Amino acid sequence: MKTETDSLAKLKHVIDSGLCTRCGACVGLSGGKMRFRDKTGDYLPEFVSEIDDRLADRLWKACSGEEVDFKGLDEFTFKGKGEHHPYLGSFENLYVGFSKDEHIRRIAGSAGVISTILVHLLESKKIDGAIVLGMSKEEPWMNKSYIATTKEEILAAAQSKYTISSVNELLGEAEKFKGKLAYVGLPCQVHSIRKLQVQNDPSVRNIEYIIAPFCGLNMHFSSVESYLRAFGEKDYRNIKDLQFRHGEWPGSMRVEMKNSKVYLLPKFHANYLIPFHMMQRCRLCIDLANEFADISVGDAWAPVYEERGKGFSLVVVRSEKGAQLAREMESENLLDLQPLSTEVAVRMHSHMYDNKKRGAFIRIKNSKNPPDYNLPFPENIHFKRKLFESSLNLVYTILRTRPVRKIFEILPPKFTGAVFNQFKVFWKRMTYSVKREKL
């Protein structure tokens, strides 16, 4: 009987223990020997045929599920240059900005910064294609990654997608691509790309730029099914078009059915789906700001910008080539970039920094199968913060039970969303001191 290799055993452990991030690297590099099963369900990779030792070792080195050496990847990516902040990561410059192209700014989920950068890179021939995440034409209820080689294909991938994605399924295609690539992916997906770059793996040799969004969490596809059931729809296969941030910033969740019915809910109201359907692995991730991108972009959550509408982005320029690109685009009047202080940049996402840089560490410490980020347990986590985390876990556990989910699917979504939004505001006020103390 063939003995299972150490790398193969580790891969299986990641899949079976809840550590899989669904980044897609193992599937993308497997040459068809792995695939994702049931993307509308648990969305986990499975083995289709036997994998030899050499391939298993390659897949394990690409895996972002269990081991991500933050210190090592930071040194590899940025060589100790620029500033480093415990929440923001390494960076050269901080800005609040938006696309000067009003059309792109309007159709994008935030302020069109990522889309504008990709279009500029393509049109200036710095890249020949961009790895992006759009929606499937064949199955419009599912997201789908692809290599965009035209402006139109780039813009078709604008807006955030809040269901699980596996962008790195494209690594086999990227390896064969003739030309330079830009890459857009979530933090866990970027972790895999950087790990492969450390290994000088041929699948990532064409990736010249990583331009990537902030990410708090992903939701299972059950979130879409639940949303539809609350509106009285039973079959997601009748979806004609699905958008998570339709319209002007901050956008709305919009589902159009084949019978032309449209179900619309403001983004902040549609967030009621999160506690019921969030991917549990996301709660063990410590990377909100996509710390290993060349440029990472998140919404500028601050009243001074939110009240103006249209959309503003927090732009974290991290690498030297990212800084050069930002200067070039500003000088060509493609992006409006206004310098931002570290304090203001952190404050914009302080709620989620607390969640990722303190809450996640508490959850990791209490996990039976914790990921290893090669970072010490933070010193600024006090007893009240640990107690708060325990209470929050209890609330999430209750909300994820089937009976409670069913109750919320009976209630009108507009009512549920409005109540959730008001409760969120109240909750933030009530827990502000606990979550901000020593932050």
Query: Where do we find the tokens 């986590």?
Result: 381
* Residue closest to 67 by CA, chosen among 377, 371, 375: 371
How many alpha carbons lie under 13 Å from residue 285 in its C-beta half-sphere?
Answer: 30
Radius of gyration of the chain (CA): 21
CA dihedral 122, 126, 132, 136 (to 10 degrees): 40
Rounded to an integer, what distance in angstroms lies between the CA atom of residue 204 and that of residue 181?
A: 9
pLDDT score for 252: 95
- For residue 337 the two structure tokens come to 């970039």
pLDDT by residue for the chain (439 residues), tens digit each?
A: 345 679 999 999 999 999 999 999 999 999 999 999 999 999 999 999 999 999 999 999 999 999 999 999 999 999 999 999 999 999 999 999 999 999 999 988 779 999 999 999 999 999 999 999 999 999 999 999 999 999 999 999 999 999 999 999 999 999 999 999 999 999 999 999 999 999 999 999 999 999 999 999 999 999 999 999 999 999 999 999 999 999 888 899 999 999 999 999 999 999 999 999 999 999 999 999 999 999 999 999 998 888 777 899 999 999 999 999 999 999 999 999 999 999 999 999 999 999 999 999 999 999 999 999 999 999 989 999 999 999 999 999 999 999 999 999 999 999 999 999 998 888 888 888 887 787 7
Tokens read off for 225: 């099914």
Give the burial class of 332: count Cβ atoms within 10 A of its Cβ; 0-12 exposed, 13-18 middle, 19 or more buried.
exposed
> Cα(153)–Cα(193) distance, rounded to whole angstroms?
22
Listed by start position, the domains of the chain span 6-62
Question: Could you identify the residue written with the tokens 């692809």?
Answer: 146
Comparing CA positions, the residue from 171, 176, 164 lying closest to residue 131 is 171
pLDDT in tens, 343-379: 999 999 999 999 999 999 999 999 999 999 999 999 9
d(CA 178, CA 342): 39
Burial zone of 97 (CB within 10 Å; 0-12 exposed, 13-18 middle, 19+ buried) = buried
Sign of CA dihedral 194, 197, 198, 201: positive
Q: What is the pLDDT of residue 435?
A: 78
Q: What's residue 4's pLDDT?
A: 61
Which pLDDT score is estimated for 2?
45
- 182 within 8 A of 153, measured Cβ to Cβ: no
**What distance in Å separates the CA atoms of residue 130 and residue 183, rounded to the nearest whole number?**
6
Cβ partners under 8 Å of residue 89, min gap 6: 74, 287, 289, 291, 292, 316, 318
